């Protein structure tokens, strides 16, 4: 990085868990290409940085720095505790990442971009007297839940289920059962570092120079947008899920064999089911994996299933052998390329924001089984606003429920409507992500903000 002579140095703080780090790295790469004379220091844990940077080509003006993961030696990890331990390391830990970056570049930090969950970076930016630009990676409108948490607790309890949230601006379509748990927490429940961070968002985000949301304004709910813009200094729509140039995707080798498999099914005029739950911290329980397998076997549809190696033991005995002529079951698959193939007729997903957008941007109808976080909100919008899919019957995988959903999308007349709507969404996203889209204009504003800081 010796050729860089400008005095701009942007620190980027990731949340090194689940599907959060990659979108933020995508944003960093795009900014680094636009601002080749600026330093970008990507700060996270050693394990996550190694995973990210070993798989991704980055410009010369990006370098990663490691900070403490917060896990004590010989500590017995409980489910989800890694994230809380990382956030508990606080401002002092993240300052060490900055110190490393400044020492090497000999350039002080001029701006902090951070995953909005990493709230200690707000105080760090104040200490350094630099702009703070948080990035909201979940579904954009899930922000409203954290801004209106007090009202939600006044009107609703966790047992209200189907009760609609008529009091949330633009989000009356949502139900209590769609919400993440933290806005419904009672006073008797123990707070965690994560729930404290989320509870602070309504106070600290309005103080940010700008808040980036990974979505398209053209798809968002106007009353929600109006409400958020009245609360924030600046809200920029910069979708991060598909920033990778399409030419790179097309040039990839088909190491998984999925594309050749899809070509064979296409020749037979068959519609393929794709099952993928993304890089999620919640894994489907054994009985749901069994239900998925039983439904796939009985359906007769060809399928590709992205299933982690450690979950294969949950599959029914002989399942892989009995379905091997019409299936691919792999621990990793090129999801974007699979969804972009014309013969995929249904996408079974947990409803993560990135996966949902990837499905819609490829015109593929979906079956949702939300587990946690913003997934219930995403599924509700996809089903009741955009009408591109269905939520699994009972919100839990069962053999009959999945069979019903697959047949609805792939066979029944109503499935044609879902497909038509998915293709409409694909067109809207293509235009929104194009040179005349609002996202392009908002990204230019972000570049100006970063370069002038």
- The residues that are catalytic are 20, 115
Residue 367: C-alpha distances to residues 3, 148, 345, 346, 378 (Å): 50, 29, 11, 7, 12
> Interhelix angle for 413-432 vs 399-410, to 10°?
70
CA pair distance 73, 258, nearest whole angstrom = 41
Residue with tokens 């949230």: 165
Distance CA 383, CA 178 (A): 12
Nearest partner of 132 among 118, 149, 151, judged by Cα:
118
Spatial neighbors of 7 by CB under 8 A, at least 6 apart, are 107, 108, 110
Cα–Cα dist 141/379, whole Å: 12
């Amino acid at each position: 990085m010796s050729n860089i002579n400008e005095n701009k140095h942007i620190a980027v703080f990731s949340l090194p868990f689940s599907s959060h780090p990659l979108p933020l790295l995508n944003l960093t790469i795009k900014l680094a290409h636009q601002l080749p004379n600026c330093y970008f220091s990507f700060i996270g844990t050693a394990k996550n940085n190694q995973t990210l940077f070993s798989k991704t080509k980055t410009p010369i003006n990006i370098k990663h720095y490691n900070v403490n993961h917060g896990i004590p030696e010989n500590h017995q990890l409980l489910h989800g505790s890694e994230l809380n331990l990382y956030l508990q390391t606080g401002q002092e830990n993240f300052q060490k990442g900055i110190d490393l970056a400044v020492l090497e570049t000999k350039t002080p930090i001029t701006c902090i971009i951070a995953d909005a969950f990493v709230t200690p970076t707000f105080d760090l930016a104040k200490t350094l007297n630099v702009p703070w630009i948080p990035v909201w990676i979940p579904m954009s409108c899930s922000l409203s839940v954290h801004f209106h948490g007090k009202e939600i607790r006044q009107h609703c309890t966790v047992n209200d289920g189907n009760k609609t949230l008529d009091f949330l601006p633009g989000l009356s379509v949502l139900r209590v059962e769609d919400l993440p748990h933290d806005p419904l927490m009672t006073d008797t429940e123990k707070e965690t570092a994560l729930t404290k961070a989320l509870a602070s968002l309504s106070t600290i985000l309005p103080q940010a120079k700008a808040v980036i949301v990974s979505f398209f304004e053209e798809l968002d709910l106007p009353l929600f947008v109006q409400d958020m813009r009245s609360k924030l200094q600046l809200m920029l729509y910069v979708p991060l899920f598909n920033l990778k140039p399409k030419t790179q995707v097309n040039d990839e080798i088909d190491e998984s064999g999925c594309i050749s498999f899809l070509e064979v099914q296409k020749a037979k005029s068959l519609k393929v089911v794709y099952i993928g739950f993304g890089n999620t911290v919640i894994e489907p329980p054994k009985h749901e994996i069994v239900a998925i397998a039983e439904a796939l076997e009985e359906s007769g549809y060809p399928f590709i299933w992205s299933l982690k190696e450690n979950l294969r033991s949950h599959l029914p005995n002989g399942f892989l052998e009995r379905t091997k002529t019409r299936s691919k079951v792999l621990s990793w698959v090129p999801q974007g390329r699979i969804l972009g193939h014309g013969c995929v007729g249904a996408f079974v997903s947990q409803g993560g924001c990135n996966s949902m957008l990837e499905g819609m941007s490829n015109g593929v109808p979906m079956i949702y089984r939300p587990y946690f976080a913003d997934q219930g909100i995403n599924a509700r919008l996809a089903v009741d606003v955009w009408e591109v899919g269905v939520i699994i019957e009972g919100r839990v995988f069962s053999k009959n429920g999945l069979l019903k959903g697959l047949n609805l999308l792939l066979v029944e007349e109503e499935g044609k409507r879902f497909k038509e709507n998915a293709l409409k969404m694909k067109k809207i996203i293509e235009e929104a992500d194009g040179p005349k889209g609002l996202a392009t204009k908002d990204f230019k504003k972000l570049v100006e903000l970063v370069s002038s800081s």
